[in-house]
Amino acid sequence: AVAALQHPAVVGIHDLGELPDGRPFIVLEFIDGETLADRLTAGPVPVDAALRLMQPVLAALAEAHAAGIVHRDLKPENLLLQAVPGGGEALRLLDFGIAAIELEVGEDRFTKTGAVFGTPAFMAPEQALDKGADYRADIYGLGATLFNLVTGEKPYVAATPVAVMNMHLKAPIPDASEIHRKVSKGLAQVITKMLAKRPADRYQDPER
């Protein structure tokens, strides 16, 4: 399903198959660049640059969601910066390794349950509770990623992964504009809506 995605912001899959010993393999496009996590070691990304870089990722995720694919692990480590001809950089989205594929059975839409998948610092509350993940979990992950990009900080920090997940569930949503003065109140409000605890309070796809 992921291999069928042809959006230029998604790292391409060239081949897939099975080794003689039964192990599956995937051949991915090679991207010569660093991750956003690497870039963030030097501090926050300027707001204008962060928004420009994220726009193609939003379009790529919209295409994935339309195909019934939810990434479930959006974070700076899964976004690669690639140099583009003429100068500048573009973001490429990779690692759909824990993506959930929505399947229809009768009137039900479901994803695999029984385990918690994702990265605690960027994980939607419903993922932490293993309540299934639809496209709104990706909106949350993007909100946490955007917060990290423009402030240089993760939304929630604690001593253990379990404590971080608990903060996603219960702690107040931090105001990005109070952490970094160059983040406008308007952008902070957008990020806050993306980080809403309840999926129904986040941005919604009007066609769903």
Active-site residue numbers? 73
Beta-carbon count within 10 A of 86 CB: 5
Q: Which strands make up the sheet holding 33-35, listed edge to edge?
A: 33-35, 79-83, 89-93
Comparing C-alpha atoms, which of 126, 33, 131, 125 is closest to residue 76? 33
Phi and psi at 141, nearest 5°, equal -60, -40
- How far apart are the C-alpha atoms of 109 and 100, rounded to whole Å? 11
